Structure 1
Amino acid sequence: MGHLIVLTTVGNEEQANLLADELVVRRHAACVHVVKVGRTVYRWQGRVFDDNEYLLISKTTDDEYPAVEATIRELSTYELPETLGFKVHRGSAEFLDWITASLDKDAEFSDDIEPR
């Protein structure tokens, strides 16, 4: 089974937290880092925009990528949400096993999110 790092961006902290929570609770990602990246400059529909964004970095598997992408599309407010997946070529066996185990839909896990 291959492992992936998936990147996406959102426009505010509330949406970043919602998306991170849902990806983990739905067991599509083992872990999601939420990073306030600040300024993003981009071209969209013939204009240049300057916004603030949050970057989400998800750890998942090849098998879960379609569900990760679907969840991002479902919950993002962006018309064209960024979804980029990068193959993990090396990593500790224990960590990669943890990613795989965390996505097991049949495993007995609590889906309650511990307080931040």
Structure 2
Amino acid sequence: MEAYFVYVTTKDGDEARAIAKAVVEERLAACANILGGIQSVYRWEGKLCEDSEVALVLKTSHPRKAQLIDRVKQLHSYEVPCILCLPIADGNPGFIRWIEGQTD
């Protein structure tokens, strides 16, 4: 069993919901958590930036990870979106099986 958390930042709640609905409907992710407003500080094109964003956590299986990354990039408004995959080292085996079943 190999599952992942996929962390994504989006420009707002509407974009987060649109991405979440698409990837769950397409079975690329088992579920999505929209974490609400976050403040992001970063450097872009040589300038220090500060923006409000919305974080999104997707849960997926190893076989769907690459497809999920590609689909989020297609749906996302940013030129270089934050998409980070974090392996789930341990947890409820039943939930991890559910992630795998939902992304088959």
User: Is the TM value for this pair above 0.5?
Assistant: yes
Query: 2:100: which partner in 1?
Result: 100
Q: Across the two proteins, how many residue pairs are aligned to each other?
A: 104
Structure 1 distance, partners of 2:50, 2:36, is 15
Secondary structure of the residue aligned to 1:74 is helix
Secondary structure of the residue aligned to 2:79 is coil
Structure 2 distance, partners of 1:59, 1:38, is 20
TM-score calculated relative to the size of structure 1: 0.86
Pairing 1:77–2:77 present: yes
Q: Would the aligned equivalents of 2:30 and 2:103 in 1 still touch at CA under 8 Å?
A: yes
Greater strand share, structure number: 2
Structure 2 alignment gaps of length 5 or more = none
How does 1:1-116 map onto structure 2 within 5 Å? 1-104=1-104
Structure 1 distance, partners of 2:52, 2:36, is 8
RMSD, matched Cα: 0.9
Secondary structure of the residue aligned to 1:34 is strand
Percent of residue pairs bearing the same amino acid type: 29
Structure 2 distance, partners of 1:36, 1:92, is 25
User: Cα offset for 1:2?
Assistant: 1.1
Higher relative contact order (CA 8 A, sep 6+): 2
TM-score calculated relative to the size of structure 2: 0.95
Residue identity in the other structure for 1:3 = A
